[in-house]
Amino acid sequence: MLRNVLGKTFRFLGYTVQYGCIAHCAFEYLGGIVVCSGPSMEPTIQNYDIVFSENLSRHFCCIRKGDIVIVKSPNDPKSNICKRVIGLEGDKVCTSNPSDFLKSHSYVPKGHVWLEGDNLRNSTDSRCYGPVPYGLIRGRICFKIWPLNDFGFLRASPNGHRFLDD
C-alpha cells in the first residue's frame, strides 16, 4: 500500500516537473499574455489592457521601428515596461521632449534600441534613460486581447513624425 502511494506521488511529481518545464519554455521562447499598466502607451494601449506578446522576434533579431515591445526596465530590473521602438542601432533619433523649443538629435549605438511611449507627455522612456540594450527586450506585442471591443492588431504610432529617415 505504501509502495502504491509513493509510486503515485512520484509519478505526479514527475508529470508536474515535465509540464512545468514545457510551460516555462513556451512562455520564455514562444510568448504569453501580458497585462499592461500605466498611461505611457495611451491611446494605443490603455491601463490594464491585456495583450499577447510573442518572444521569437527578439531571438531572431526581427524587431523593427514601430513595434511595441516588452522590455526589462533599465531603471528597475525586477519590472517590465511596454514601449514603442522609435530607432534601431545607427538610426538618428530626436532625443528632446515635444515641448522643447530646440530639438536635439543623437544616433542609437550598436546593439541598442530607442524606446518611447505613445503618450509623450506622460512616459518615462529613452528620453530619460537613453538607448536600451537589445538584450533587455523580452518580446514584441502582436495584438490586443482585452477589452474585446478593441480586440485585434495594434494601431500605428500617433507620434509617427518622430521616426526620422535620415
| pLDDT tens by residue, 74-131 | 888 888 889 999 888 888 887 777 667 777 788 889 989 989 888 888 888 888 888 9
Do 92 and 164 meet the contact criterion of CB atoms below 8 Å apart? yes
Residue 113: burial class (beta carbons within 10 Å; 0-12, 13-18, 19+): buried
Is residue 41 predicted with pLDDT exceeding 80?
Answer: yes
Predicted pLDDT at 166: 47
Say if 108 falls within a structural domain.
Answer: yes
CATH number of residue 154's parent domain: 2.10.109.10
Residue 22 lies in a domain: no
Q: Which residues are catalytic?
A: 40, 83
Q: What is the pLDDT of residue 110?
A: 93
Percent pLDDT > 70 in the chain is: 90
pLDDT band at 160 (very low <50, low <70, confident <90, very high): low
CB under 8 Å to 40, separation ≥6 — which residues? 81, 82, 83, 117, 118, 119, 122, 123, 124, 125
Residue 81 covered by a domain: yes
Range of the domain at 95: 33-163
- Indicate the pTM of the whole model: 0.76
Confidence (pLDDT) at 6: 81
Indicate whether 8 belongs to any domain.
no
Task: Indicate whether 110 belongs to any domain.
Answer: yes
* Domains in the chain, number: 1
| Mean per-residue pLDDT of the chain | 82
